Amino acid sequence: MRFSVDAHAIGQHLTGNEVYVRNLLNGFAALDQTSEFVAYLSGQDASAQIPKRFATRQVSSNPFLRLGFELTQCLRDDRPDLLHVQYTAPLACAAPIVVSVHDVSFLEHPEWFPWLRSRQLRLTVRRTVRRASRVLTPSEFSARSIAASYRAEEKTVVIPNAVSSAFRPVPRASAAGWVRERFGIPAPFVLSVGDLQPRKNQAGLIRAFEELLRDSPQLPHHLVLVGKETWYAGRVRRAAAASACAGRIHFTGFVGDDELLQLYGACDLFVFPSFYEGFGLPILEAMACGRAVACSNTTAMPEVADAAALLFDPRSTTEMTRAMKDLLVDAELRARIERLGAQRSAAFSWENTARKTLAVYYEVAEGHARVAKAVSAAPVL
């Protein structure tokens, strides 16, 4: 079998999409020694992150060129048994398609997206889901949303994401020293990770952090916001600058996994106040690093966290503040949540995710080959 994967997200700082496809490809390399894999890349140095035996092709980072022309040409040349994409397939594709749709927030909350981006996703994802043989999604929540939006229940498969083995406990003191030297951020601090965009709710976290310090002025903590700058970043930064605790709020921008490991390791508490997630990978990453987690009680986040985090309503400043305060001032509660989090994160592995995804690949490709063979063998009337 020959499987093609649109891996243009690798090296493009596309956060969750990049983490997903990079870890899948590494899992495939470990599990499947017989099939051929072709990865389509946009980043100039992205091939260094691809398993060495996989073929690579360079395509444009411009989605109009990549999806309108270049991927179609690559597929004609490579003739794969299957193409795997995230959200959007190329305009022309003779191979069966497997699409990963992590969430449909662009349908349910278009106000969180630039107008053109929301419109593009509405059109291209619907077309791709209709054409796809299988739709992969990481949570039961997203599966229900996809079913409601596209009526694709019969071909939707839930395969949870996982946490990379790169995320593990490190000594807090040494991590704190590394963060202080690298970013100039003093310990102790509360950490949040996510692109600076509306649905991640950093502005709500800033309000809750201000209330936390007002209610508990003895706490010496800072707030560290990790995430890529987006079209919405200015609003988040203005909210921080206007806060009464502006001097204790820090932005790092996008960071790589090595830096993120140290930030998780150094924090006293990880808070994830997102309004909407199809999965919520940073929850598991923080848990795997041995840190207590407080997160939103909406969408897929309770499914991911289970009973290993304190949950709050992300629209309630009071609830978010209370969750942070409980974990920061109650050392016994914090230690219990840390233990539960370590156990919870261990239940997810990229090996299992890759194995289940490969099973879908083979099912689709072999089924398509049987149909093609039957059609070619049918008598001409």
Q: What is the pLDDT of residue 144?
A: 97
Find the largest Cα–Cα distance for the chain.
Answer: 86
Tell me if the pTM is above 0.75. Answer: yes
**Helix segments in 267-316, DSSP class H:** 281-288, 301-305
For residue range 289-317, list pLDDT tens digits in order. Answer: 999 999 999 999 999 999 999 999 999 99
Q: What is the pLDDT of residue 248?
A: 98
pLDDT at 378 over 60: no
Q: What is the pLDDT of residue 370?
A: 79
Higher per-residue confidence, 204 vs 46: 204
DSSP β-bridge partners for residue 293 = 270
Q: Are 185 and 250 in contact, with CB atoms under 8 Å apart?
A: yes
Domains of the chain listed by start with CATH number: 2-162+349-377 (3.40.50.2000), 172-345 (3.40.50.2000)
For residue range 345-372, list pLDDT tens digits in order. Answer: 999 999 999 999 999 999 999 998 777 6
pLDDT at 23 over 80: yes
Rounded Cα distance, 239 and 190, in Å: 17
Mean pLDDT value across residues 179-187: 96
pLDDT at 380 over 70: no
For residue range 218-248, list pLDDT tens digits in order. Answer: 999 999 999 999 999 999 999 999 999 999 9
Q: What percent of the chain lies above the pLDDT cut of 90?
A: 92
Q: What is the pLDDT of residue 313?
A: 98
Name the residue type at position 124: T
For residue range 278-290, list pLDDT tens digits in order. Answer: 999 999 999 999 9
Nearest-5° Cα angle at 340, 335 to 342: 95
CA 126 to chain centre: 21
- The structure tokens listed for 185 are 């951020």
- The structure tokens listed for 40 are 């389509």
CA 58 to chain centre: 23
For residue range 106-150, list pLDDT tens digits in order. Answer: 999 999 999 999 999 999 999 999 999 999 999 999 999 999 999
Rounded Cα distance, 130 and 55, in Å: 29
pLDDT at 44 over 60: yes
Q: What is the pLDDT of residue 369?
A: 79
- The structure tokens listed for 179 are 């963060």
